Structure 1
């Protein structure tokens, strides 16, 4: 399991490449949609990390 910081950096890096791929020609609507998508991706990464941490804590130890 990768750390939370690595996952967050990967999400931000991927979303940073979008304006470069589009040549920086994004209007206000595209920027708002891009920011909403990035926030949703960050929320998903954090919630998934928290779910995985809870699952490993509640897992019974095997003898």
Structure 2
């Protein structure tokens, strides 16, 4: 079974496999960028077995 949800909707849930699709990042407000990174971290920790991140990692 496949479940597709926003990161906000997945909060508090667990899945065996999690794939996070992130759009190309842009430089913007540092607080907004930090908030997005934290949200991605929460999404990736929903995985029980395996997680994948498809996007651009920048600092």
TM-score by length of 2: 0.44
Q: Which has the higher strand share?
A: 2
Q: Which has the higher helix share?
A: 1
